[in-house]
Amino acid sequence: MAHPCHLASRSGTLARPAPASDYRFMDDANTWETYELPPLSEAPPNDMFTPLDAQLASVREWNQTRRWGFTAEDFDAIDLTPRTYDNPLVVDLIAVYLKGKGDLDAVRHTADDLWLLAALQQPNSWCWDDWYWDQPGSGLKPLRLATGIVHRPGVRRVTLDLGAHWLPGQHVSALKVMSSASAHAEVLAAAAHFPNWVRAMDGRTVPYTWLAGYQVTVPPYSRHYRLPCLTWTRYRQMLSLTSHEAAYTQFGWAAPVCLA
């Protein structure tokens, strides 16, 4: 049975391509619905993020439904004091870092659970690990942390720059901007907390996102450094977690970093 986050649409069928101004999808009744896509924004929307108290309420709920095992003391220790930033893409979020579960180590378990929660916030979703079920070492979220990054289980407040290393209109290589501050699970937590941020991704006012704190490990024979990437496709209304060559240069992309 396919993992829930691998369902490409609400009907289980990938929406067929359509003109950029016209989005069409097959709903649960197997009928086609059509509507006009709104114009692209000229600036980041002001409703992308939710406050810390709402995030904490979500994490408490996820802790129960996903059986993470965090305690009331863990949640009480989180500072919920609001802060404001001049940069509209800098935000405080509550990130979770899980222990291993079954065949998944701590890093992969964290990534898989947070991806599932992020995918549930959107009408359609797709994940790159669908490609590699027949490869050695494959399975859910075949990845590891990049060099210099340590996974410490817990639940913490993190300040994240979701626009780091983004140069509008210029090509950037993720390989050249990776560092020990590169975000990993924090980006997936942001996608779960902030569905409006995901839907605002257009590469012009809100960048698409490299998860530069991760390294994709399948296929193992790849000679190139690959990393997961988070994108939003407007005409499909789809959140995707894809895998890209880190050395490629692209425009419209950021490599978020943890500031604190």
Query: How many degrees, rounded to 5, is the angle at CA 19 between CA 232 and CA 233?
Result: 5
Amino acid at 27: D
Pairing of strands 154-161, 257-258: antiparallel
Q: Is residue 11 part of a domain?
A: no
Q: What is the pLDDT of residue 131?
A: 60
Contact 249, 175 (CB under 8 A): no
Q: Is residue 12 part of a domain?
A: no
The percent of residues above 70 in pLDDT, for the chain, comes to: 78
Peptide bond before 256: cis, by omega within 30 degrees of 0?
Answer: no
Q: Is residue 44 part of a domain?
A: no
pLDDT for residue 183 is more than 70: yes
Residues listed for the chain? 260
- How many structural domains compose the chain? 1
Q: What value does the mean pLDDT of the chain take?
A: 81
Q: What is the pLDDT of residue 86?
A: 93
Beta-bridged to residue 230, according to DSSP, are: 209, 241
**Domain ranges, residue 123:** 57-258
Q: Is residue 243 part of a domain?
A: yes
Which are the contacts of 148, defined by CB distance < 8 A and separation ≥ 6?
A: 179, 180
pLDDT for residue 73 is more than 90: yes
Banded model confidence at residue 26, pLDDT cuts 50, 70, 90: very low
Q: Is residue 18 part of a domain?
A: no
Q: Is residue 13 part of a domain?
A: no
